[in-house]
Amino acid sequence: MAPAWAVERGMARMQLDVLRKYEAAETGRRQSGWKAGSGSANAEVVPGLATVRNRARQMVRDNEYAKAAVRTLATSIVGSTGINVIPENKAERRLWTEWIDVCDADGQLDFGGLQLLAAKTWKESGEVLARRRWRKPTDGLTVPLQIQLLEPDHLDQGKTGIDGDNINIAGVQYNKLGSRTGYWLFAEHPGEVALHRRALLSYLVPASEVIHLYSKDRISQVRGISALAVSLMRMRDLDGYEEAELVRKKIEACFTAFVTTDSPRMHIGDLKKEEGAPSNAPRVTEKVSPGLIKYLTQGETVTFGSPQASGGYGEYTATQLHAIAVGAGVTYHQLTGDTSRANYTSHRAALVTFNQLIEAEQWLAFIPMFIKPIRRWWREAAQLNGIKVGKNPDRITTPKKPVVDPLKDTLADKEEIRAGLKSLSEALRERGMDPETVFAEIKTERDALAVLGLVFDTDATVTDLKLSPGDLLNAVVGKGND
């Protein structure tokens, strides 16, 4: 009835189809070499798990930037003293404080040291295992429990397939409901220098006895991959580029003279025999000394080699290091120690994003997958030993975050507290402090100062209320007498 309208409708449908289609889903010339698999997380992770892990370790051993990235991530997550756990029950708190000094099954580290070692292994190797080790009464521990850390090599990756009513995936056993029921572990590290005959036979350990810490990036992912995985090729290429640049610079530094002459006796420097040459061998090595003047006869010429220098080394290296830093999850400054490319504002902005990523790692991975399971183990061991434990959840404080300008950050916290945007307790927890401990310490300190008759202008009643130190002291002492 209306052919023109039909044509317009057809064109509109074609345009709509184009708009609905993702460019990344096209199959034209630009996408001809783009291959992407559709396997599950385990199908992509497990085949290259050991290779990526070993290469990441090799990079951390030999590459300064890889080592700096792992060290920065680990220390940022656990801090300089570890994530602090404070039980609500005071009696339990005392026992916990004693236990964290002897919690290491190897007898070398305290709880903070175990956290740092676990975080380093997690970021370098992609995952880390912790095993519960029960102790006898004769071992002298009030709470008969210690923690043994294991590298992921102990987990038998070859255990994959149906096992009766269970299924094994890369050494982890699941039941029909999809719950973890056990881990196939080697008694010793498969790469240990001294192994007995049965060391490479794995055995099933109940899941209740093992902690498996890793980053779960995809649904159904069973094993973890190194934090350096995405940057390993770039690091290796950068190593090769720097080696090639070093060789090129050595060649550029070489000084070569080319002599053209028909006379075999013509030379421009001091002739010397090559080291180790026989006594009758001709002297073919020459040394040109500064200030040498040499007269040449007609037909004799001397030319010098002058290799051409090439630039761009610094720009290319900086670009690659920026990409490596992004892939590893750290800032360029943290990776390289170079602050010349950032000003005060950009450095603070980068730290804001970095601190957000670290907080996510702390509260969404490290604490629920490592800290809290160890606390549950500890409470179970304490109860089995006849020790009463509290029912309230623990107070957990993460380490204090470093700041670029402490004065400005402190003033900002102060204004937020005054405006009611956050509590003083919240501000203290953000700095890695326990509010109750801080308040108790402040009260004890002020009571002691009042008894000694000491007043400092750090007291807000002196600086803000404009009270003289004498009036303040009389008020405090009088209130205490009342």
Q: What pLDDT sits at residue 198?
A: 67
Q: What pLDDT sits at residue 21?
A: 65
Q: What pLDDT sits at residue 263?
A: 66
pTM summary value: 0.82
- Residue 111 neighbours by CB under 8 Å, 6+ apart: 82, 100, 101, 103
CA dist 239 and 232 (Å) reads: 11
The position carrying tokens 């023109």 is 4
SS (H, E, C) 322-387: HHHHHHHCCCHHHHHCCCCCCCHHHHHHHHHHHHHHHHHHHHHHHHHHHHHHHHHHHHHHHHHCCC
Pairing relationship of beta strands 127-134 and 210-214 according to DSSP bridges: antiparallel
Token code pair at residue 431: 């700095």
Token code pair at residue 313: 């080394």
CA dist 61 and 239 (Å) reads: 13
Q: In what order do the strands lie in the sheet with 161-163?
A: 161-163, 166-169, 172-174, 180-186, 202-206
**Start-end of H helices in 2-63:** 3-20, 41-45, 49-62
What are the extents of the domains in the chain? 41-229
Q: What pLDDT sits at residue 100?
A: 97
DSSP 126-167: SEEEEEEEE--GGG--SS-EEEEEE-GGGB-TT--EEETTEE
Q: What is the largest CA-CA distance in the chain?
A: 115
Host H or E run for residue 241: helix 232-253
Residues of the chain with pLDDT below 50 are none
Q: What pLDDT sits at residue 336?
A: 95
* Degrees, nearest 5: CA angle 155-158-161: 115
